[in-house]
Structure 1
Amino acid sequence: MARRSTRWLVPALLVLAWLAVGGGLGPFAGKLTEVSTNDQAAFLPQSAESTHVLKAQETFRQGDGQPVIVVWTSGASVTPEQTTAATRALAALRGAPGVVGTPTPAFPSDDGRALQGVLQLSPDLGPGDLGDALDRIRASVAVDGLTTQLAGPAATRADLGDAFAGIDGVLLGVALVTVLIILLAVYRSVLLPLVIILGAVFALGLACAVVYFLADRDIVRVDGQVQGILFILVIGAATDYALLLTARFREELATGADRFTAGRIALRQSVEPIVASAATVALGLLALLLSNLTNNRALGPVGAIGIACAALSALTFLPAALVLLGRAALWPARPRPSDTGAQGLWNRVAALVDRRPRLVWVASVLPLVALAFFAPQLNARGVPLDETFVGDAPSVAAQAALSEHFPGGSGQPAVIVAPAARATAIVEKAGAVEGVSGAAAVSASGRPGDDPKVVDGRVLVEATLRDAPDSDAAQDTVRRLRSALHGEDGVLVGGYSAQRYDTTETARQDTLVIVPVVLGIILLILIVLLRSLTMPVLLVATVALNFLAVLGVSTLLFPHLFGFTGSDASVPLYGFVFLVALGVDYNIFLMSRVREETARHGAREGVLRGLVTTGGVITSAGVVLAATFAALVVIPLAFLVQIAFIVAFGVLLDTLVVRSLLVPALVRDLGGRAWWPSRLGREHVPAAEESSPARQH
């Protein structure tokens, strides 16, 4: 009697513990924005030249403010009275709430149809205060007969804040509702989808609480992108792990096992693939710590924490809840032997793989290889400013107006740190560089002038570029500036265009370092899990091919379907980490079952039985993960939309082609050699046992 009570006590305590976690830590999902920052300057490569320039600007007290560029435009020529009114309006803002320093006068464009002025806002303004300050400025500087717009870093930061405003509401809601609808369709059950969603929410609450604690103590960094990816990762991973364990639980119930036996067997058979899968993704994400980009390093530990919490919830809360609910968890559906998947679509797929394995894997590989040829053509030199936001953004429209009437780099000049003794020569050299429309030293007032401010024997020189600061041409001009000026001792070239260039180059170097590390980590985990050398190499090769094919598809669709002319420099690296790690997930789910079946029935029957029994659950898991990543499109940023497409499309391609056809066909064609040097490949099963799943029942 005591033992029977204990069987109920453990799962009951686990469920109560997770209910306490959900109730106590759930609110941290909404509080994470309190410790996050969308200041892009905080995520520059630490060793880059442009970062050193940014630090030097702080010593000149040029980094103490967030620049706001006020642009006035007119359909006709701007009158002297309008210019005077604009200058007065700017001067009146000195000392206004949030404004630091002295605003510049308004000065006209060469075509006489626009005015420009610059002021600085306090960097301590939070997202809400920043928006209020910009609204006050916009109202204060309005001039009759002119259209007033605000550009510059402060305006861009405000638009980023607006883009991320719904991250803990809209994004989370869309992701959860999407997953719930898919689970209802898959299980045709009332309680089970709710239990799975509850487990994912508990995991997210725990992950957000841990991340909040660490971010509040400056141990990890969080921005809107990292926060959004954390939400999607936890919900998607927790649901995937739950689907795997739930399938085994339902399978055991279908054989007549009681709830305790079914729960124990399901947990025992699922713990190894779930732990291996979580370790693969978590360690793959932690490899981002090798990056020189701060936002990449930020995602590594935050994502790993989320994956660990998802696995913990799936291995503790879910089996406990299933044991307590028993067959009621599946109501109104009833588990039957046919639910194991031995019949239907996956039985036919297995029969095809069994009959023509070589034809199947060749027909699968060739299209993937053809698409992979387009991968190197992906333009990953950065997203132009006018494509950063999906849809209209005020700062983008203002920058477009600025570029129309002033030199392309107005408001975002290249910043040169130079020895004071060589200031005049540096100004002349910089002004003579192709792509530079003019250069001048910065005076004590913070504006270009004849009386440069000297700090520690150095001056700042601003070089206005002819091309838009977010263009490839501007980055080329930065390279020419550095080439022309690096012969001078102590000269550094930075600014917005230089930051984009340094970020792109750093991301390329990161890719060369991190990609082989991630592949090595995954290979080692698979070797330990599968006790084989051939199989891990095969699996890693197929998921890598899948990634290259998806990158090729993105190269074709981004400009022609989505209208993106460029991608962020980190998009290929993020896509690789997510797709390869998550792609191996499904192969882990498949091959761990294949290995189990191979030990019982031999290599041929093992791969066929493994494919049939896992086909439905892995496909469902892939659809769930693709749908959750697709939810990122609710945040109107090109970077997240591109990541959402790459991962969602890649997961579906991996689930429906690589894991369903390519891998099983290769393993079937290789036979026992696929498990070398494991003894599985050398063991034979009596002929009486060798009947294909397609012919059973």
Structure 2
Amino acid sequence: MSSLSGYGKWIAGPRSKWVTLLVWVALVAVLNMVWPSVNSQVKNNASNLPENSPSVVADRIIEKEFPGGNGVPALLVWHRDGSLNDKDYAAIAAVYAKLAKEPLAHQQFVPPLGQVPPQALAGSASKDGSTLVTPVLFDRTADSDQLGESVKKLKALIRQETGGDPSAASASGSELSLRVTGPVGISIDATGLFKDADVSLLIATVLLVLVLLLLIYRSPILALIPLIAVGFAYGVTGPLVGLMAKEGWITVDSQAVSIMTVLLFGAGTDYCLFLIARFRQLLKEERGVLKALLGAISGSAGAIAMSGFTVVVALLTLLLAEYGSYHRFAAPFALAIFVMGLASLTLVPALLAIFGRVSFFPFIPRTPEMEEERAKEKGKPVPVRKERRTKGAVGRLVVSRPKTIVAVTLVLLGILAAFSSGISYTFDLLSSFPKDMESRQGFTQIGDKFSPGELAPASVLVDTAGTGAKAEDLKTLLAGLSYVAEVSDAQKGAVHPEILSYDVQFRENPYSREAMRHIPELRESVEQALRDAGAAEPENKVHIAGQTATQVDNRDVQNRDSDLIIPVVIGLIALLLLVYLRSVTATLYLVGTVILSFFAALGLGWLILHHLMGADAIQGSIPLYAFVFLVALGEDYNIFMVSGIWKKRKTMPLRRAIAEGVSETGSVITSAGLILAGTFAVLATLPIQVLVQFGLVTALGVLLDTFIVRPFLVPALTVLLGRWAFWPGRHMEVKEEKPAPVR
């Protein structure tokens, strides 16, 4: 404790508090001047799949053998209720003639529609003549921002040729309308959603945290102190992550930056409150502000450091992931929490030392003696000292009925957790978009008027060298599959003519789970045909590319990452708890309760998303994201509460230590949990289903930890286990001192 007090004087002493503040100001100013901001280094087209994934291998073959068709398609969906007219077809032809002569930036290929008469174009329209789909292929190396600029210029060209604005017209009306969909349209919309979300997310999060702090502590100065600390932490984290991205050490995307902001405000405010709550309590016992602050630092710094370290370690396990989106989260998130932890242990004490008791204005905490002196100075009656209650209602309930509490909480959490087994998962990015999003509207029109598979056909590549398989036979085989709507003629490879390529359109939405099931079936059917033709090792001769195949690989890689990372996270957190608490028993039930609350949050989230919000499935990435956050952040609250119990049980009976530990940490953990849950709930207000689902599940998990696991289940288990809660360490029960008899 003396070492922590010494550290406190170094960062919050009469002079050092100003030095600490100036160091942070200088750090933020210098880093933001010399290093790039994180937002300037965002890369939204980074691959999520490793190079050896089957769909990635297929893409490389296409790039080499079929360079003309290797671009990423933007599908232009032209529509007019009733029927497109000759003027519409003439305008479309003029657009493509202009694109052929003056290509857009990153444009790779356009079909020669500018040379086609209107009657021929009409032959490619839907049966009712209302809808036509035309492609523009772009370079695969172009990122979403570059594609967005090209599509913006394309729309300007279309306005010029049509004399109107088809993009602004209703998707179902008598005017000519245009919707850009396909992989390019979807990529542009996805990036736009996250970019639009950044500012609104930041504003909403700041306002929410500010309002909650004002409601909880009713002090404007105190409400600003955590926000100032978070602002400084973000000011340091942003350029640090920006530098790492610029040097190529890491890759960051808009989604990671958005959630990093939420994590900083939520977890960062929690760490600040752990210190503030202890400081406020000691100001009612100590006349000297510095002495109270040093006591607060001594009493909470260890738990804050341990909590932050636990979260950092858990987040760094995402570096083990092969799925790019998981991997890209690791460094920014871990660095953000690390910097926020430093700010909580240095900048926040300095700010509290600078403001002193005024931090809590207008409800300034004072010692009883100070209250008496203040009352005398104002000529008011001296307040009667009230005996401080050492046990709150929750603490008394926990130690008096531990068996009942354990039984009730386990049954409740167990029932909720059981619903998690019925969750359906999707890897369809399009379903995350609002229904009025352009790319989703275009896809809906294609599904209504054509085969849905036209949106993103699968490319089936077959190496027929030495097999005797014929192109027409393979096409007949593919066309005869019940789930295939249409098959193109075979194209021969430019380098190896024996490699054949077929575009296969599924009858279902190519982004759906049903279509994903067809990829292994499709592969097996072609491999079997090659076996029948006498081919050796046919599994090495069939490759499938396209959006559906990519989603299958996404699912397989994500499942692999979950199977690896979840046990590693559990093991590392268990190891940290074991070192900190020196108890195998406590480590087991602390980790076990958090895992149970995670599955309960997942089950409760599914009940709300599926039965109340109508979601057919949740995004496949949600469980791992939610697990890493909830297990790491959930242990924060356990560590903060249990560390208090562990200290108190050395000076008082265990049951009393548990009751007081629950009561003393109750208000701060409850307020911290509400703020953390609120910040994650902000994500659920955004028009992006993957963030809605992640925000809801994580917020529910935090609330379950805050109101069930931490105040009831964990302390009740500690009561039931008694001295065994500290095994293999020893617990020496302190006897309650009986008051001396009155003579």
TM-score by length of 1: 0.91
Change (3 A) 1:102 1:507: closer
Query: 1:671 and 1:160 mapped to 2: Cα distance?
Result: 53
Specify which of 656, 663, 686 is matched with residue 735 of structure 2. 686
Give the superposition deviation at 1:689. 6.7
- In 2: Cα distance, 1:608 partner to 1:577 partner: 30
5 Å-filtered alignment, 1:74-85, equals 74-78=80-84, 82-83=88-89, 85=91
Q: Secondary structure of the residue that 2:680 maps to in structure 1?
A: helix
Q: Find the counterpart in structure 1 of residue 477 from structure 2.
A: 429
Q: Does 1:355 align with 2:400?
A: yes
Structure 2 residue corresponding to 1:460, chosen from 480, 501, 520: 501
Matched-pair contact (CA < 8 Å) for 2:73–2:182? yes
Q: What is the identity, as a one-letter code, of the residue corresponding to 1:58?
A: E
Amino acid at match of 1:132: K
The answer to whether the 8 Å contact 1:22/1:201 transfers is: no
Structure 1 residues 384, 237: closer, same or farther in 2, change over 3 A? closer
Q: Distance in 2 between matches of 1:55 and 1:648?
A: 41
User: In structure 2, what is the equivalent of residue 472 of structure 1?
Assistant: 513
For structure 1, which segment, 112-121 or 621-630, has the greater mean C-alpha deviation from structure 2 after superposition?
112-121
- CA 1:657 to 1:28, structure 2 compared with 1: closer, same or farther past 3 Å? farther
Match of 1:585 in 2: 636
Partner of 2:170: none
Once residues 708 and 391 of structure 2 are traced to their aligned partners in structure 1, the CA distance between those partners, rounded to angstroms, is 13
* Aligned residue in 2 for 1:116: 133
Aligned pair count reads: 676
**Structure 2 CA distance, aligned partners of 1:301 and 1:175?**
22
Q: Does 1:224 align with 2:254?
A: yes
Q: CA deviation at 1:501?
A: 1.6
Whole-angstrom CA distance in 2 between matches of 1:384 and 1:162 = 14
Change (3 A) 1:633 1:316: same
Matches of 2:291 and 2:230 in 1, distance apart?
A: 24
Other structure's SS at 1:415 match: strand
Residue 728 of structure 2: SS of its match in structure 1? coil
Give the counterpart letter for 1:410 in structure 2.
E
SS of the residue aligned with 1:628? Answer: helix
Q: Which residue of 1 aligns with 2:73?
A: 67
> Does the CA-based 8 Å contact 1:28-1:205 persist in structure 2?
no
Alpha-carbon contact 1:28-1:212 (below 8 Å) kept: no
- 1:304-453 matches, within 5 Å, as 304-336=334-366, 347-383=392-428, 385=430, 387-419=431-463, 421=465, 424=471, 425-440=473-488, 452-453=492-493
Question: Which letter does structure 2 place at the counterpart of 1:688?
Answer: E
SS in 2 for 1:218: coil
What is the Cα deviation at residue 505 of structure 1?
2.2
> What SS does structure 2 have at the residue aligned with 1:433?
coil
Q: Offset at 1:292?
A: 1.9
2:39 to 33, 58, 82: 33
Q: How many Å separate the matches in 2 of 1:635 and 1:507?
A: 24
**Aligned-pair distance for 1:158?**
1.9
Superposed displacement of residue 84, structure 1 = 5.2
On the 8 A contact 2:461/2:543 being kept in 1, the answer is yes
Deviation of the 1:641 alpha carbon: 0.8
Task: Tell me what 1:96 maps to.
Answer: 103
Change (3 A) 1:336 1:351: farther
Name the amino acid aligned to 2:683: L
Is the CA contact (8 Å cut-off) linking 1:534 and 1:674 kept in structure 2? yes
SS, match of residue 272 in structure 1: helix
Give secondary structure in 2 for the equivalent of 1:165: helix
Spell out the pairing of 1:536-547 with structure 2 (5 A cutoff): 536-547=587-598
Aligned mates of 2:707, 2:150 — CA distance in 1 = 47
Unaligned runs of 5+ in 1: 442-449, 692-697
- Is the contact between residue 540 and residue 584 of structure 1 (CA under 8 Å) also seen in structure 2? yes
SS in 2 for 1:120: strand
In the other structure, the counterpart of 1:444 is none
Alpha-carbon distance in 2 for matches of 1:234, 1:24: 21
Residues 587-616 of structure 1, C-alpha deviations (whole Å, 9 max, x = no match): 011101111111221321211111011000
C-alpha deviation, 1:302, in angstroms: 1.6
Cα distance in 2 for residues equivalent to 1:346 and 1:501? 55
Assess, with a 3 A threshold, how the Cα gap between structure 1 residues 5 and 235 changes in structure 2: closer, same or farther: closer
Contact 1:435 1:467 in 2 (8 A): yes
The answer to whether 1:280 aligns with 2:318 is: no
**Which residue of the partner structure matches residue 656 of structure 1?**
707
Give the partner amino acid of 2:733.
H
**Structure 1 residue 53 corresponds to structure 2 residue 58:** yes
322-331 or 136-145: which moved more?
A: 136-145
Query: Which residue among 523, 530, 534 is the counterpart of 1:482?
Result: 523
What displacement does 1:299 show? 0.7
Q: For residue 46 of structure 1, report the CA deviation from its aligned partner.
A: 3.9
Which position in structure 2 is the counterpart of 1:695? none
Which of 531, 539, 542 lines up with 1:491 in the alignment?
542
Change over 3 Å in CA distance of 1:657–1:629 after alignment to 2:
same
Q: CA deviation at 1:405?
A: 1.3
Q: 1:99 to 1:200 in 2, by over 3 A?
A: closer
SS at match of 2:488: strand
Given residue 434 of structure 1, which amino acid in structure 2 is its aligned partner? S
Whether contact under 8 Å (2:181, 2:442) holds in the other structure is yes
Find the counterpart in structure 1 of residue 697 from structure 2. Answer: 646
Greater Rg over alpha carbons, structure: 2
> CA offset at residue 673 of structure 1?
1.6
Match of 2:378 in 1: none
Asked if 1:618 is matched to 2:669, the reply is yes
Q: Secondary structure at the match of 1:183?
A: helix
Aligned-partner Cα distance in 2 for 1:18–1:72 = 56
Q: Aligned ranges for residues 490-529 of structure 1 at < 5 Å?
A: 490-529=541-580
**Match 2:149 to one of 129, 132, 136:** 129
Query: Which secondary structure state, in structure 1, belongs to the residue aligned with residue 296 of structure 2?
Result: helix
Measured at CA, do residues 531 and 451 of structure 1 come closer, stay the same or move farther in structure 2, by a change above 3 Å? Answer: closer
| CA distance in 2: counterparts of 1:665 and 1:307, whole angstroms | 31
Alpha carbons of 1:284 and 1:7: their partners in 2 closer, same or farther (altered >3 Å)? closer
Query: C-alpha separation between the residues in 1 aligned to 2:390 and 2:434?
Result: 40
Shift of 1:432: 2.9
CA distance in 2, matches of 1:690, 1:130: 83
Range moving further from structure 2, 79-88 or 464-473: 79-88
Structure-2 separation of matches of 1:66 and 1:689: 81
Q: 1:563 aligns with which of 614, 619, 623?
A: 614
Residue 193 of structure 1 pairs with residue 234 of structure 2:
no
* Displacement after TM superposition at 1:27 (Å): 8.5
1:670 pairs with 2:710: no
Q: TM (normalized to structure 2)?
A: 0.85
What's the counterpart of residue 447 of structure 1?
none
Deviation string for 1:318-356 (max 9, x for gaps)? 1111122211212221225799x9978970111111221
Q: Percent identity?
A: 30
Q: Note the C-alpha offset of 1:538.
A: 0.6
Q: Say whether the 8 Å CA contact 2:516–2:552 is kept in structure 1.
A: yes
SS in 2 for 1:599: coil
Distance 1:58 1:35, change over 3 A: farther
Say if 1:384 and 1:471, in contact at 8 Å, map to a contact too: no
Q: Partner of 2:459: helix, strand, or coil? A: strand
What is the Cα deviation at residue 534 of structure 1? 0.6
Match of 2:159 in 1: 139
Distance in 2 separating the partners of 1:27 and 1:358:
59
Structure 2 unaligned runs (5+)? 1-8, 114-120, 167-173, 372-385, 529-537
CA contact (8 A) 1:275 1:311 kept: yes
Native 8 Å contact 1:288 1:514 kept in 2: yes
CA RMSD of aligned residues (A): 2.8
